[in-house]
Amino acid sequence: EAQVTQNPRYLITVTGKKLTVTCSQNMNHEYMSWYRQDPGLGLRQIYYSMNVEVTDKGDVPEGYKVSRKEKRNFPLILESPSPNQTSLYFCASSPGQAGSPLHFGNGTRLTVT
Amino acid sequence: SQQGEEDPQALSIQEGENATMNCSYKTSINNLQWYRQNSGRGLVHLILIRSNEREKHSGRLRVTLDTSKKSSSLLITASRAADTASYFCASSITGANSKLTFGKGITLSVRP
């Protein structure tokens, strides 16, 4: 089944404790992206990757890192999480042509205390 | 600021009625897409309309695009309780590679 898989689904952590949210897709998609969703703010793009070893900042990249060492994986790293990073995070992928529809994972709900 | 803005923010209708949701955007686009999100889950792509298209249908969905007004509408006909969800428009901006910019979403409630 074609899917984008994120883990974990829920995560509670404390300020400053490094964490990684994994994302993997099995559709051989070139484009991958991370979004955060907050009430009243909609979805905002954090980082995206056009292909392996190619990543770029989205609209709200501060406090996040990503890597794209393999085509299928695009982990999101929070080196020193803060409470304002409490949010619902989504990974998404697409074949890569401009404006292709995105396939979304089921989300990771992160709480930073 | 958001590229896409949906209107209304929330909509409550009776089962069987039609639901119309609107989206406005600011800059030139390649295409405009509509997504659905069930409570707290990932977004699911519904329909895509290209900048050179004016109307498109998919099952009970009808989407229109007016590039002169920079607006789109999504019509769900004969709504069902299962259509209850949040709906987002997303614009693919010309020259922005694969980036989609999302609006804040419309919450649709369909009463049985």
Sign, CA dihedral B62-B48-B26-B10, equals positive
CA distance B66 to B53: 9
- In this prediction, residue B96 carries a pLDDT of 59
Low-confidence ranges of chain A (pLDDT < 70): none
Of A40, A48, A101, which is closest to B33 when you measure between CB atoms? A101
Tell me the shortest Cα–Cα distance from B77 to chain A, in angstroms. Answer: 23
Contact B42 A41 (CB under 8 A): no
Q: Cβ distance A93 to A4 under 8 Å? A: yes
Phi/psi for A85 (5° steps) reads -100, 5
Tell me the shortest Cα–Cα distance from B43 to chain A, in angstroms. Answer: 6
- In this prediction, residue A99 carries a pLDDT of 83
Phi/psi for A16 (5° steps) reads 90, -10
Contact B98 A50 (CB under 8 A): yes
The average confidence (pLDDT) of chain B is 91
Per-residue pLDDT tens for B43-95?
Answer: 999 999 999 999 999 999 999 999 999 999 999 999 999 999 999 999 988 76
- In this prediction, residue B27 carries a pLDDT of 87
Predicted confidence band of residue B98 (pLDDT cuts 50, 70, 90): low
- In this prediction, residue A35 carries a pLDDT of 96
Interface A:B, Cβ pairs < 8 A? 63
Per-residue pLDDT tens for A40-67?
Answer: 888 999 999 999 999 999 999 999 999 9
Q: Judge whether residue B1 has pLDDT over 50.
A: no
CA distance A8 to A23: 9
Contact B100 A42 (CB under 8 A): no
Q: Judge whether residue B97 has pLDDT over 50.
A: yes
The partner residues of A80 in beta bridges, in order of sequence, read none
Cα B29 to Cα A83, B3, B68, distances in angstroms: 35, 10, 12
Q: Which residues of B touch A42 (CB under 8 A)?
A: 2, 88, 102-105
- In this prediction, residue A16 carries a pLDDT of 97
